[in-house]
Structure 1
Amino acid sequence: MPKWMRVFGQLREIQGLPEKKEVLPVMRRTWKDVLVIVGVLLMAMTIGAPAGAQGPRYPAKPITILVGWPAGGATDLLARTLAEAAKPHFDQPLVVVNRPGGAGTIATAELVNAAPDGYTLLLQAIAVVAVQPHLRKVPYTIDDMIPVIHLGRNPTTIGVRSDAPWKTPQEFIEAARRDPGRIRIAAPGVGTIPHLNAVLLTGWAKVSVTFVITTGGAMSVAQLLGGHVEAIAQHYNDYVAQAEAGRIRPLGVFSEARNPLFPEVPTFKEFGYNITGEVYNFIVVPKGTPEPVRRYLHDRFKRALGERMMQEWAKKALYTIEYLGPEDTDKRIRYWNKIYADVVRMLGIGER
């Protein structure tokens, strides 16, 4: 089996060694000792401030969270819910700013060009850093940003209108085989995980379809409901409201096993198509961001993930919260960067 079709389990979180405690001897304090202690205390008061910064402790102003997709889509809703859940843990507001376009590369370019001071963050998706650089020339690499925290994962699906004649993945594939090129599938950007999974599916089944590239989930859903496409390659939580209303029917999910949040939807693996790539979301900051700032952000976002608001949203939105620290997040990014380099090369979809 090609290595780009294997999906490994969650990476094991590395546990740190316990802090070594030392007992200092009691000694007489001199005025010099007192001044040293005062200096240490003053430094502690500003820990978290960017290196070399003078003035108020970090954060001293609102923090921007960039999102590379339009408002209303799965990533945007994740960012806004996270910002709301994090309010009690931050001393300043978190402002979500949408920078859609280029399959997430526009927002990423803005991030890497931002000052590494902790005031510009990006809620990132794995394809933007692990796929797009292999598809075309982009103004960044995975080394231009530093992971803060891994937030969760989101499987992708193929969905059709409820009045479509296809009830299973196999019926859908057979229809595409009978009429090459007629079935149109909307996908949120070239090289996104939903797009790649759909390309892999049609390539594996040896059928021809027409891909319609959109700016995000909201546009894809509108295209489907408007009759402009026959199917969408999308996260289920991008159209769960329409599915519950009986307007859209998910045909299958790309994952190792059925999702416990929507167990009625079969996997494509059950029909012989072992395509299981999921979307992983994480927060990144520009390279050069001071470690105290990253640690401040990590600790507070980790608390936010445990907030009841976040947990309830995830359950309703069919999103799987999955915490990983900075080191394991970095390992996951680099692992999938190697895997998708092989996928792009095998599919021949990168720019020459």
Structure 2
Amino acid sequence: MGLLTRATLVVATSVFALSAAPALAQEWQPDRPINIIVPWGAGGSTDQVTRVTAPIIAEELGQAVVVVNQPGASGAVGTQEVLNAPKDGYTWTANAIANNATYSVTGLVPDTSIDDWHIYLSVANVPVVAVPSDSEFEDFGQLLEAFKERGSEITVGTAGVTSSGGMAIAGLGTEGDFEYRMVTYDGGGPAAIATAAGEAMVTTQLAVEQAELIRGGRLRPLAVLSDQPLTIEGVDPIPPITEWLPEFPIAPDYFGIFIPQGVPEEVVATVNRIWEEKVMNSQALKDYAQTNGAVFAPSYGEEAREVAMPVVIEEACAAEERGLEVNDPSTIGIDCETKSEM
């Protein structure tokens, strides 16, 4: 089953999700603004979808929900800031869940795991291999040959080693048996813009970070890291990577908002209600996904954790395979021999 089909099934089941918080929990009424720390630069995938969902939450809470960009160390700086903040419900984060779940493996944020967070997922995203519009490469087959022949002469713009784009090119390099030279930026949006400007020869960041540049003819998409084509509004379907690398591992990359464990019970109960009643039915979020090549896939609580685990396991084990691990994935309960939770 393909990426987009799987994510659609998640949407179909998520509408039946039950609140994980006790039914009698008091409704939270915050008395000051809430900060959502996005640990990446403005314009990237996390920043984009967070700025769509934050107003939905703010309207329900009757308080401002402020998106604060705090990039650094592949998202680790902002994430650690949230973990260090008082557990009073007023400091949240947003990211790809695979990042928060595997920062301990890469050593960027020690002693943390997926279970340190209340999880609120909004969309599934997928990386796209793209080149500047004036690139010599017309399709992924040509680029793949160049990678194999020229290796580290080919520069790849990403948001860092553990970003979606960084993990994407690492996976391609492993599967395609080639080397490359990564050029890193403070977010997926800046990486895509820099590639369009010719600072890098390729980018492997997410479709949502490239959509406007692709629509505007500044980037040429060559392949989507999926097993089926990707349609971005106003653009011809982008062919799947499996046309060239049939065994390439595919796992949906889920993004959302995360609240640290330890906050008051009424905070969780209230955000659960807002997610189920408002976010999971948001036309604004649906429109964002359709326009930008994402998949509308909201869920929360145990269901969100369940749908997230395949990409968490894939990225934790990929870090081990590529020698990027500082801590063994078993320390966060992942068995890479069986690709499952322990």
Instruction: Place the TM-score, normalised by the shorter chain, in its bin.
Output: 0.7 to 0.9
**1:63 counterpart residue number:** 34
Which 5+ residue runs of structure 2 have no aligned equivalent? Answer: 328-342
Alignment CA distance shift 1:7-1:87 (3 Å): closer
3-state SS of paired residue (2:151) = coil
- Matched ranges for 1:333-344 at <5 A: 333-344=308-319
Deviation at 1:131, TM superposition (A): 3.3
Q: For 1:28-67, what aligned pairs fall within 5 Å after superposition?
A: 47-49=26-28, 58-67=29-38
Which of 46, 60, 75 is residue 75 of structure 1 equivalent to?
46
Spell out, residue by residue over 1:27-54, the C-alpha distance to the aligned partner (whole angstroms, 9 max, x if none): xxxxxxxxxxxxxxxxx8x9235xxxxx
The residue identity in structure 2 corresponding to 1:280 is: Y
Residue number in structure 2 paired with 1:208: 179
1:167 Cα deviation from its structure 2 partner: 1.7
Query: Does 1:264 find its partner at 2:261?
Result: no
How far apart are the structure 1 equivalents of 2:114 and 2:189? 31
8 Å Cα contact 1:254-1:267 kept in structure 2? yes
Provide the rounded CA distance (Å) in 2 between the counterparts of 1:234 and 1:130: 20
Distance 2:195 2:230 in 1: 24
* 2:105 paired with 1:131: no
Give the secondary-structure state (helix, strand or coil) at the position aligned to 2:152: coil
Assess if the C-alpha contact under 8 Å between 2:17 and 2:303 holds in 1.
no
Q: Considering only aligned residues, what root-mean-square deviation do their CA atoms show, in Å?
A: 2.7
Aligned to 1:345: 320
Please state how far the C-alpha of 1:127 moved relative to its aligned partner.
Answer: 3.1
Q: Could you list the structure 1 runs, at least 4 aligned residues long, displaced by more than 6 angstroms after superposition.
A: none
Report if aligned partners of 1:111, 1:120 keep a CA contact under 8 Å in 2: yes
Matched, 1:9 2:13: no
Q: 1:194 aligns with which of 165, 182, 192?
A: 165
- 2:113, 2:242 → 1: CA distance? 30
| Deviation for aligned residue 1:263 | 6.0
Number of residue pairs matched?
313
Query: Counterparts of 1:85-96 in structure 2 under 5 Å?
Result: 85-96=56-67
The aligned counterpart of 2:218 is 247
CA distance in 1: counterparts of 2:265 and 2:240, whole angstroms:
41
Distance 1:139 1:182, change over 3 A: same
Q: 1:242 to 1:137 in 2, by over 3 A?
A: closer
Q: TM-score, normalised by structure 2?
A: 0.83
- Residues 145-164 of structure 1 mapped to structure 2, 5 A cutoff: 145-164=116-135
Q: For 1:260 and 1:222, how far apart are their aligned partners in 2?
A: 21
**Paired residues of 1:80 and 1:96 also in contact (CA < 8 A):** yes
Give the stretch that moved more between structures: 172-181 or 302-311. 302-311
Q: Distance in 2 between matches of 1:315 and 1:143?
A: 28
1:23 paired residue number: none
Q: One-letter code of the match for 2:237?
A: E
Aligned counterparts of 1:250 and 1:257: Cα–Cα separation in 2: 14
Inter-CA distance 350–321: structure 2 relative to 1 (3 Å threshold): same
Choose 1 or 2 for highest CA Rg: 1
Who is 2:298 aligned against?
Answer: 323
The 1:327–1:144 alpha-carbon spacing in structure 2 relative to 1, beyond 3 Å, is closer
* 1:328 partner letter: E
For residue 144 of structure 1, report the CA deviation from its aligned partner.
6.2
Q: What's the CA shift for 1:105?
A: 1.2
- 263 and 127 in structure 1: CA distance in 2 versus 1, 3 angstrom threshold: farther
Deviation readout 1:265-299 (Å, 9 max, x if unpaired)? 01101222423234211221121112321120122
Q: Mark the CA change 1:178 to 1:338 in structure 2 (over 3 Å): closer, same or farther.
A: closer
Aligned residue for 1:295? 269
Q: Which position in structure 2 is the counterpart of 1:277?
A: 251
Give, in angstroms, the shift of residue 335 of structure 1: 4.5
Structure-2 separation of matches of 1:60 and 1:238? 34
Query: Does 2:153 match 1:182?
Result: yes
